[in-house]
Amino acid sequence: MFKLTGILPPIATPFDHAGELYKVKVQHNVEKWNKTGLAGYVVCGSTGESVYLTTEEKLKLWDWVAEYAASDKILVAGTGMESVRETVTLCNAAAERGYKAAMVRTPFYYKGLLNNVNAQVLYFRTVADQSKIPLMIYNWPQVTGIDIAAEAVVLLSQHPNIFAIKESSGNLEKMIQMIKDVKPGFQVLTGSAPILSPSLSVGCAGAVLAFANAAPYSVVTIWEAHRSREIPAAMDWQNRILRAAQLVTVKYGVPGLKHAMDLNGYYGGPPRLPLTVIGAEAKAEIEAAFDGLKG
């Protein structure tokens, strides 16, 4: 079974001020991240504003990141769409570009029909049956309004082409239940930087963190501290990043994260409309929280 450990950012998509993809800034960010201890990159996830990208733009981003990523970085493509057909098409397009896995979010548009175990299991099994690369389930109920049941994840862990879940709900109790009940070798990763250290303590294999776009060294330090069983050091760093992580992952989201990236020498730039650049007060709040957090 495919293994994915360590810290990966779901990378932000650079846009210029006309709203077009900004290739030179993709290169700048990826080459700067290459120098960190990040395990790899997730391209076209929620933090990458994937719902605002065309298929052609996603293909371009996958090509560009693959071109600039260091050879030791694992590449994961965000491919989740509402239909099985389109999701499979994107999974296989990513496979052709050398991506090792696909991160597939829960479909959510027809909530009344999809918010049950049978529908969730059917969707992911059918995609996995046809995908040329293994799948990581992506659960973020705060945005989708669909919270994939732990029972569904346990059933899906039996599929040979589904290797992990990115659990972004922040529900530690649910993560503990999944870690206990899933098939041996299936990996549970957290998507929540504010609870990174506690998540690793209960057995998460790693993390896919938006926060890592702006301050990768701090979350890699937490990861390394857990690997060496230096839990007090991990919790010290967890407390240091807590306020900053809450601001850019909960309160201000992608626009706030992009400002934090600009502060730390990466290119955040503007989000794509209808998202807008944050105001002066929010910028000041983020600047204070990131003071001392190395990019």
Task: Provide the residue type at 34 as one letter.
Answer: N
d(C-alpha 217, C-alpha 265), whole Å: 13
Task: Give the residue among 267, 272, 269, 294 at the shortest CA–CA distance from 30.
Answer: 267
Integer angstrom CA distances of residue 77 from 26, 35, 152, 281, 286 = 15, 21, 22, 34, 29
Catalytic, out of 25, 58, 166, 174 = 166
Q: Is 100 a catalytic site residue? A: no
Q: What is the dihedral of CA 18, 52, 277, 196, to 10 degrees?
A: -140
Task: Give the residue among 150, 234, 249, 152 at the shortest CA–CA distance from 191.
Answer: 249
Assess whether the previous peptide bond of 274 is cis (omega < 30° from 0): yes
d(C-alpha 45, C-alpha 240), whole Å: 26
Catalytic positions, written as ranges: 166
